[in-house]
Amino acid sequence: MSWLRNLSKFSNIKSSQRPNKTDPFFLLPSFTFLSHFSSQPIEEKPSVKHIEYASSLQPTKPHEKPRVVVLGSGWAGCRLMKGLDPNIYDIVCVSPRNHMVFTPLLASTCVGTLEFRSVAEPIGRIQPAISREPGSYFFLANCTSIDAHNHTVHCETVTDGEQTIDPWKFTVSYDKLVIALGSHPATFGIQGVNEHAIFLREVYHAQEIRRKLLLNLMLSDVPGISEEEKKRLLHCVVVGGGPTGVEFSGELSDFIMKDVRQRYTHVKDYIRVTLIEANEILSSFDDRLRLYATKQLTKSGVRLVRGIVKDVKAQKIILNDGTEVPYGLLVWSTGVGPSPIIQSLDLPKAPGGRIGVDEWLRVPSVQDVFSIGDCSGFVESTGRQTLPALAQVAERQGKYLASMLNKIGKEGAGHANSAKEIKLGDPFVYKHLGSMATIGRYKALVDLRQSKEGKGLALAGVLSFFIWRSAYITRVVSWRNRFYVFINWITTLIFGRDISRL
Amino acid sequence: MSWLRNLSKFSNIKSSQRPNKTDPFFLLPSFTFLSHFSSQPIEEKPSVKHIEYASSLQPTKPHEKPRVVVLGSGWAGCRLMKGLDPNIYDIVCVSPRNHMVFTPLLASTCVGTLEFRSVAEPIGRIQPAISREPGSYFFLANCTSIDAHNHTVHCETVTDGEQTIDPWKFTVSYDKLVIALGSHPATFGIQGVNEHAIFLREVYHAQEIRRKLLLNLMLSDVPGISEEEKKRLLHCVVVGGGPTGVEFSGELSDFIMKDVRQRYTHVKDYIRVTLIEANEILSSFDDRLRLYATKQLTKSGVRLVRGIVKDVKAQKIILNDGTEVPYGLLVWSTGVGPSPIIQSLDLPKAPGGRIGVDEWLRVPSVQDVFSIGDCSGFVESTGRQTLPALAQVAERQGKYLASMLNKIGKEGAGHANSAKEIKLGDPFVYKHLGSMATIGRYKALVDLRQSKEGKGLALAGVLSFFIWRSAYITRVVSWRNRFYVFINWITTLIFGRDISRL
């Protein structure tokens, strides 16, 4: 503390007016000792670099609240945390992201229809106990491995290349562990995708797309840029015709038709959108809706191309038939697969490489481990199909597991290895509520059938668009963001989209 | 265009429903020939790398509108562009930033009181002709040199390290040139400032501060971080006690007292703010106001230290007396000096290294060149003092010069070398309207005296805070942002500040 004492040589005010020794810092209560924490003795000048600290959040004691550790902060993990009772459990979340992304609205942020913060929900708002309860924490870290036999996860902090902080390793003991680590974008081993394409899953992806789109719009206006280069810079290629790819294409064409025409008049005739899909676009939707979407997108100027990408270079992609497609912006959205951390875990697997779970979302063969969301699938012995990687599946599983864990906790079986004899109640059953997608120009598809073969309502058009908006605005987690989404929609309607490149 | 033709192998819909050849892309009007542009012949596959293109925006012809080229998009340049009459002039802006930053509110965005976009105003909204008129442009580029004798500026595009675009050199001919390139943060040659400290002049600075502050708050909560390291991570040091440093310190202490206490309860007792200033804080303000500010800041927990920084390391700064001050976040705001591009220009200089101008803001010894804002100062022969580097000086100069240029243009002297005989009217006179600064906790200073020695109203407290807010919200350029600043203030009051780290 010597530097702190030195700093008290404060002398801005004349000595008679000098603040007395009741300086707020000296009045601070002595720093609370956090009994959960243990650490190696501290060196006098800590140099964190390259030292593996044996730091840990130790196992809970029988008289303490049991601890649920949640890996991940996506739909599944956040819905689970929201539902967990903080009077029963301490909740610890480990994730490289301190917020949940409201993914259905992410495509709208790329062109400024919505702002980035309107679709990001801080975890501390989803489950306030995380920031208030003394035994609950959020750790900005990646899980590097799981030691299921010792009820421990290994973690490393995320530092984003900051110079002043070095990565830090620590372990967290759990009573119950929920793996909700999500999935990874599928690249099918195609070279160059990771280097040159932008995915559309996180807020920083949307930020990158927005920055690049505005950069290209401005650069294409510079004297001496050739016609061909101008067309390349302003060619936006979307690979993958699922809901994300289609919604992003629709948003882009809205942006072009309304804002680019007004605000980039010099280059407006050069900008184009191409959507490349190997099979059918929106394959999970009703045929009539798909046809409608195809017509609408084409009308809005989106070129639909059936093709398979073979290779991705810095300024062009090459299709299977040899066609070269120059691009200025490449967005990749061809579905998801298991992430490297999931593949590396020594746990039972489901078909497709996901973590295997039983009907109660438990990982068999180990105690107190559960898995939900895109990273999990039913083990073969359950005879159940793998569920699609959808927000509604993840959310439903999070909700189910939260109430099951609350039940277990209420029955006194919250601590590690104490739930062996407990009755778990009904297994998890997924009922598909239908699918929605916007296609631009205030039009959307709403398919309320339970399966592709089932019967039910399937709507397309402007009414669907308002159903889409109403459905999502009510599902945005906090009132704050509900308010901001609404305000963003209004201002986009009145003033157009924001084009400052921050 | 071969790749475009290949792409027409579109086959998503059954052949009977295939869209006819009236595909929107084929219906596009043939690309407009832009008569201003000239360029080398285009190679078949353009490879931009390492080739210097002789691309240029050529001199205007006598029957065309004369062209004003504005370098920079700060207060001076933007106020000028807003005031220029697009019926008289074509306006070309060259700047690495496509928006103006409303700097008085920038400190509020670092902690989430305001959102980043609320303080950024796209140039296309400030002067719509830039995006609509065929001869007006915004170029996202840096000016690299000025050839005043040939009425030409040399530029290079900004590409932000994007892989798919290489920097591009081009020249722009002007009839009138306005240099409004602003200033550079003063570091007094202290080592490590550029590497480790964050300035507070651009939106990306505020973004970096916000990301780092939230990162440090989260990392300090990780198991095993030592007490000393926790204190370091959460020690926010501000160097420089001018309005920017004081306002930022005030915002930080507000954030700590309201949001950190609620949302980071585990570490709230560790976070501290230290403001280091070599002389007096807010030296341009009335003594009574300064004393009030000092008391209020101290009450809010801001430690005021008089000291001179000698050296800046990655995790600590060293003061002149040898004191070491560990920090987690370092914000540097010790005034401004001439930027390297200004120093490099072969133009008359004013005392302090600024570009020299006469009473009409003309650069002497060359034709048709003007300079306004922080980068300019009166040449010694005028006998006038250098004006302070303030937004209100820049804005007033921009407004003055716009109406002078409009007058020149109306009298038919808009083209290059044709204004030699014209009467310029009254010279520029600056009248200081006073200074304002917030100090946190809904308190502010308002000093309406014309000079430090002059007489006039000097107010401090809550009323001043509302004067401050009202004054600035009416000065925010667009209704869109006025609306958003208002909405941000309301939501911060109701819901607290946003803490998602995007």
With a CB cutoff of 8 Å and minimum separation 6, the contacts of A416 are A59, A66, A151, A174, A175, A176, A367, A368
Q: Are strands A137-147 and A152-157 parallel, antiparallel or unpaired?
A: antiparallel
Radius of gyration from C-alpha coordinates of chain A: 26
Are B299 and A263 within 8 A, CB to CB?
Answer: no
Q: What is the pLDDT of residue B315?
A: 93
CB A101 within 8 A of CB A78: no
**CB-CB: which of A97, A277, A325 is closest to B3?**
A325
- The chain A residue lying nearest B54, using CA atoms, is A224
For residue A259, is pLDDT > 70? yes
- The chain B residue lying nearest A272, using CA atoms, is B25
Question: Across chain A, how many H-helices and E-strands are there?
Answer: 16, 25
Q: State how far the Cα of A276 lies from the Cα of B203, in Å rounded to an integer.
A: 36
**CB-CB: which of A122, A215, A280 is closest to B140?**
A215
A23 touches chain B (CB under 8 A): yes
The architecture CATH gives domain A34-183+338-431: 3-Layer(bba) Sandwich (3.50)
Q: What is the pLDDT of residue A382?
A: 95
Q: Cβ contacts (< 8 Å) between A214 and chain B: which residues?
A: 98
What share of chain A has pLDDT > 90, as a percent? 78
Q: Where are the domains of chain B?
A: 48-183+338-430, 193-335+434-495
CB contacts < 8 Å between A and B, how many?
325
**CB-CB: which of A12, A204, A272 is closest to B25?**
A272
**CB-CB: which of B24, B29, B170 is closest to A222?**
B170
Are B31 and A269 within 8 A, CB to CB?
Answer: yes
Q: With a CB-CB cutoff of 8 Å, which residues 112-141 of chain B face chain A? A: 115-117, 120-122, 124, 131-132, 134, 137-141
For residue B409, is pLDDT > 70? yes
B47 touches chain A (CB under 8 A): no
For residue B30, is pLDDT > 90? no
Q: State how far the Cα of A458 lies from the Cα of B54, in Å rounded to an integer.
A: 58
For residue A484, is pLDDT > 50? yes
Could you tell me how far CA B335 lies from the centroid of its own chain? 14
For residue A42, is pLDDT > 50? no
pLDDT tens digits, A13-38: 333 333 333 333 332 333 323 334 43
Are A159 and B55 within 8 A, CB to CB?
Answer: no
Are B303 and A28 within 8 A, CB to CB?
Answer: no
For residue B2, is pLDDT > 60? no
* pLDDT top residue among A483 and B161: A483
pLDDT tens digits, B346-379: 999 999 999 999 999 999 999 999 999 999 999 9
In this prediction the ipTM stands at 0.87
Model-level pTM?
Answer: 0.89
Are B301 and A215 within 8 A, CB to CB?
Answer: no
pLDDT tens digits, A139-166: 999 999 999 999 999 999 998 777 667 7
Could you tell me how far CA B484 lies from the centroid of its own chain? 19
The pLDDT-based confidence of B43 (bands split at 50, 70, 90) is: very low
For residue B452, is pLDDT > 90? no
Average pLDDT over residues B99-124: 95
Average pLDDT over residues B64-75: 97
Range from A46-55, A58-67, A259-268 that averages highest in pLDDT? A58-67
Are B223 and A39 within 8 A, CB to CB?
Answer: yes
Average pLDDT over residues A63-83: 97
SS3 state at A146: strand
B27 touches chain A (CB under 8 A): no
Nearest chain A CA: its distance from B56 CA (Å): 6
SS3 state at B343: helix
The tokens describing B121, both together, are 């105003």
Q: With a CB-CB cutoff of 8 Å, which residues 51-110 of chain A face chain B? A: 53-57, 97-99
Q: Cβ contacts (< 8 Å) between A293 and chain B: which residues?
A: none
**CB-CB: which of A46, A137, A274 is closest to B7?**
A274
Average pLDDT over residues B473-502: 90
Least confident of A19-23, A297-301, A481-485, B286-290: A19-23
Nearest chain A CA: its distance from B309 CA (Å): 13
Average pLDDT over residues A471-493: 90
Q: What is the pLDDT of residue B54?
A: 61
With a CB cutoff of 8 Å and minimum separation 6, the contacts of B490 are none
Q: What is the pLDDT of residue A17?
A: 37
- The chain A residue lying nearest B325, using CA atoms, is A3
For residue A485, is pLDDT > 60? yes
Q: Which CATH number fits domain B48-183+338-430: 3.50.50.100, 2.40.50.140, 3.30.70.260, 3.40.50.300?
A: 3.50.50.100
Are A172 and B304 within 8 A, CB to CB?
Answer: no
Q: What is the pLDDT of residue A325?
A: 97
Are B37 and A223 within 8 A, CB to CB?
Answer: yes
Nearest chain A CA: its distance from B334 CA (Å): 17
Q: What is the pLDDT of residue B25?
A: 33
Q: What is the pLDDT of residue B229?
A: 94
- The chain B residue lying nearest A282, using CA atoms, is B12
A493 touches chain B (CB under 8 A): no
**CB-CB: which of A54, A262, A323 is closest to B3?**
A323
Q: What is the pLDDT of residue B46?
A: 40
Interface test with A, best of B143, B165, B288 (most A CBs within 10 A): B165
Average pLDDT over residues A320-348: 95
pLDDT, chain A, mean: 88
Average pLDDT over residues B89-108: 96
For residue A390, is pLDDT > 50? yes
Q: What is the pLDDT of residue A420?
A: 86
Q: Same CATH fold, B193-335+434-495 and B48-183+338-430?
A: yes
Query: Considering all CA atoms of chain A, what is the largest pairwise distance in Å, rounded to the nearest integer?
Result: 85
Q: What CATH number was assigned to the domain covering residues B193-335+434-495? A: 3.50.50.100
Least confident of A37-51, A177-191, A485-499, B124-138: A37-51
**Nearest to residue B216, comparing CAs of B332, B329, B314, B330?**
B329
Q: What is the pLDDT of residue A159?
A: 86
With a CB cutoff of 8 Å and minimum separation 6, the contacts of B395 are B75, B76, B79
Nearest chain B CA: its distance from A431 CA (Å): 30
Q: What is the pLDDT of residue B45?
A: 39
Interface test with B, best of A222, A229, A483 (most B CBs within 10 A): A222
Count Cβ atoms below 10 Å from residue B277 Cβ, excluding itself.
23
Helical axes A391-410 vs A75-83, angle rounded to 10°: 30
Are B163 and A215 within 8 A, CB to CB?
Answer: no
A308 touches chain B (CB under 8 A): no
For residue A49, is pLDDT > 90? no
Q: State how far the Cα of B227 lies from the Cα of B77, in Å rounded to an integer.
A: 49
Q: With a CB-CB cutoff of 8 Å, which residues 453-472 of chain A face chain B? A: none
- The chain A residue lying nearest B204, using CA atoms, is A502
Q: What is the pLDDT of residue A163?
A: 63
Q: State how far the Cα of A75 lies from the Cα of A90, in Å rounded to an integer.
A: 20
Are A263 and B131 within 8 A, CB to CB?
Answer: yes
**Nearest to residue B101, comparing CAs of B204, B203, B200?**
B203
Average pLDDT over residues B401-422: 94
The CATH topology of domain A193-335+433-495 is FAD/NAD(P)-binding domain (3.50.50)
Q: State how far the Cα of A83 lies from the Cα of A441, in Å rounded to an integer.
A: 37
Q: With a CB-CB cutoff of 8 Å, which residues 157-186 of chain A face chain B? A: 157, 159-160, 162-165, 168, 170-172
Are A55 and B223 within 8 A, CB to CB?
Answer: yes
A426 touches chain B (CB under 8 A): no
Q: Cβ contacts (< 8 Å) between B46 and chain A: which residues?
A: 226, 228-229
Locus of tokens 């012809």: B61
B22 touches chain A (CB under 8 A): no
Count Cβ atoms below 10 Å from residue B201 Cβ, excluding itself.
19
The values of phi and psi at residue B458, to 5°, are -135, 115
Q: What is the pLDDT of residue A422?
A: 87
CB B11 within 8 A of CB B19: no
Q: What is the pLDDT of residue B165?
A: 73
**CB-CB: which of B55, B196, B215 is closest to A224?**
B55
Interface test with A, best of B109, B219, B277, B290 (most A CBs within 10 A): B219
Are A269 and B32 within 8 A, CB to CB?
Answer: yes
pLDDT tens digits, B278-309: 999 999 898 999 999 999 999 999 999 999 99
Are B98 and A500 within 8 A, CB to CB?
Answer: yes
A323 touches chain B (CB under 8 A): yes
Q: What is the pLDDT of residue B163?
A: 63
Q: What is the pLDDT of residue B502?
A: 87
Instruction: Quote the strand ranges of A342-486, DSSP E.
Output: 355-357, 369-371, 376-378, 435-440, 443-447, 458-461
Scored b (16 or more CB within 10 A) or e, A43-60 reads eeebeeeeeebebbbebb
Q: What is the pLDDT of residue B421?
A: 86
For residue A212, is pLDDT > 50? yes
Q: State how far the Cα of B394 lies from the Cα of B361, in Å rounded to an integer.
A: 12
B228 touches chain A (CB under 8 A): yes
Are B225 and A168 within 8 A, CB to CB?
Answer: yes
Average pLDDT over residues B318-336: 96
pLDDT tens digits, B221-246: 999 999 999 999 999 999 999 999 99
pLDDT, chain B, mean: 88
Least confident of A24-33, A58-67, B180-189: A24-33
Q: What is the pLDDT of residue A130?
A: 95
**CB-CB: which of A122, A172, A294 is closest to B13?**
A294
User: Cα separations (Å) of B364 from A139, B357, B359, B420?
Assistant: 61, 6, 10, 12
What share of chain A has pLDDT > 70, as a percent? 88
